Amino acid sequence: MVGKVHVIGAGLAGLAAAVRLATRGVPVVLHEAAPQAGGRCRSYFDRTLNAVIDNGNHLVLSGNTTMREFTRTIGSEHTLTGPGRAEFAFVDLDSDERWTVKLSEGRLPWWIFDKHARVPGTKWSDYLSLAPLLRAGPDATMTDAMNCPPALYKRLIHPLFLAVLNADPAEGSAQMAAAVIRETLAAGGRACHPLIASDGLDVSFVNPALAYLEAKGAQVMLQHRVRAMAYSADGSRVESIDFGDGPEMLGADDSVVLAVPPNVAASLVPDLTTPDEYRAIVNAHFQVPPPPGCPPMIGVVNGVSDWIFAFDGRLSVTISGADHLLDESRESLAQRIWEEVAKACQVPSTPMPVWQLVREKRATFAATPAQDKRRPAAATRWRNLVLAGDWTATGLPATIEGALRSGNRAADLLSPA
């Protein structure tokens, strides 16, 4: 019998665990150290832009089955919008060449035989170079496992998987990349429709989840930071949790889902091995309406920018694996990014619009083979303690899909369907 479950951490992993447990009638208390839920997947009001923005631009795909199930459950699937087809626009800033990769809907990749649908300068046979990724071992990086022709690599594989892994394919785990390929590209265009939370991450993932939990009778406690956990003398279970007011004893059937960042988890759980290397992400926002006909997202080749997103009244940029940009001045970096945005979107570069720059130094764990081996399983040696988070052993990189999947796994361990 499952008693009360304390879910510690209200990022997407914790929200997913809490939602699944509450759906099954399990009493849930959700604890979050911050004043708001969502973790890295949240929205906030930015005074400079005088607008609500997301802390980062997060893309999901139609083939992200766990994400689709989660948003259906909390009633927000309709808030994710996209072109309704698997199309990805690109621009080469050096040559000003523009193209759109158009994946065929079914599992058979007919698009690679169409020169108007595939990457310019590539042959259909070039795409076969990705096949060895699916057989890669745990120590292989993407570039170890494949021999990708230069045009395909530079104009599709590098920008795509830099974003997916938040690591350069030269260091990124081939096995994590292969897991993404199996669930998206290999499943056909039907699984690759891009979906964007156009009204904000809170609207799509956070607020509806909190409302759902409230309706199910769950208790949500914000600004409630865990300080310590104590374990029973026989080493079988978590005995108490300290939130700063002294130990709170757990009932005999109570359990804990620990859905906090890896460094916090390592400070609370004895001898826990977690990823300990991170990669940065830079996001830039410009207060300018996207021009007519601007694609919802544009991949950038030969620029500091990686992906440009078009929102209502705003153009936003995401740069993955951005550790090399952390020391550049905000003004210099924003100017460089804006010049690329203006060229890519074909809008005047002067005057530079109102802007905001957000640098996340420890945005995700480093998706390298070595760090992948440090990811712990959800189950622990304590019978009433499970782990959740995109940094646990989900098989996927640090993505929304991986975070939600980890939360579901944690819930299933405590309360099987």
Can the peptide bond before residue 351 be classed as cis, meaning omega within 30 degrees of 0?
yes
Instruction: Identify whether residues 160 and 225 lie together within a single domain.
Output: no
User: Structurally, how many domains does the chain consist of?
Assistant: 2
What is the structure's pLDDT at 1?
Answer: 57
Q: Which pLDDT tens digit goes with each residue over 337-367?
A: 999 999 999 999 999 999 999 999 999 999 9
Quick: pLDDT tens for 209-262.
Answer: 999 999 999 999 999 999 999 999 999 999 999 999 999 999 999 999 999 999
Are both 27 and 175 inside the same structural domain?
Answer: no
Domain-located, residue 255:
yes
Cβ atoms of 195 and 411 closer than 8 Å: no
Phi, psi of 414 (to 5 degrees): -85, -35
- Same-domain pairing of 134 and 215: no
Residue 362 falls inside a structural domain: no
Does residue 177 share a domain with residue 101? yes
221 located within any domain: yes
Token digits of residue 307: 């992906």
Range of the domain at 137: 87-192
pTM over 0.75: yes
Kindly state the average pLDDT of the residues 116-122. 98
Report the CATH number at residue 246: 3.50.50.60
Contact 283, 333 (CB under 8 A): no
pLDDT surpasses 80 at 47: yes
- Tokens, residue 340: 């690329």
Dihedral of CA 120/125/126/131: which sign? positive
- 378-406 pLDDT, tens digit each: 999 999 999 999 999 999 999 999 999 99
pLDDT at residue 417, rounded to an integer: 81
Tokens of 62: 């139609």
Residues 117 and 208 in one domain: no
Domain for residue 282, yes or no? no
Q: Are residues 266 and 382 in the same domain?
A: yes
Indicate the pLDDT class of residue 26, thresholds 50, 70 and 90. Answer: very high
In what helix (H) or strand (E) does residue 66 lie, and over which residues does it extend? helix 65-74
Asked whether residue 35 carries a pLDDT value surpassing 70, the answer given is yes
Q: Which residues of 128-162 are buried (b: 16+ CB within 10 A; e: fewer)?
A: ebbebbbebeeebbbbbbbebbeebbbbbbbbbbb
Structure tokens at 36: 């708001």
172 and 228 share one domain: no
Condensed to tens digits (0 to 9), the pLDDT of residues 278-303 reads 999 999 999 999 999 999 999 999 99
**pLDDT computed for residue 2 by the predictor:** 77
Q: Are residues 238 and 99 in the same domain?
A: no
Residue 55 is predicted with a pLDDT of 87
Q: Are residues 180 and 211 in the same domain?
A: no
- Which of these three, 155, 175, 192, is where a domain ends? 192
Residue 122 CA neighbour count, 13 Å, CB half: 27
Residue 40 lies in a domain: yes
- φ/ψ of 164, rounded to 5, equals -65, -45
Which residues fall within 8 angstroms of residue 386, CB to CB, at 6 or more apart?
A: 255, 256, 257, 258, 378, 379, 380, 410, 413, 414
The proportion of the chain whose per-residue pLDDT surpasses 90, expressed as a percent, equals 97
Looking at the fold, whether 213 and 182 belong to one and the same domain comes out as no
Beta-bridged to residue 54, according to DSSP, are 43
Terminal Cα-to-Cα distance of the chain (whole angstroms): 13
The predicted pLDDT at position 163 comes to 96
The average pLDDT across 60-83 equals 96
The one-character DSSP state at 391 is T
Domain boundary among 150, 171, 192: 192
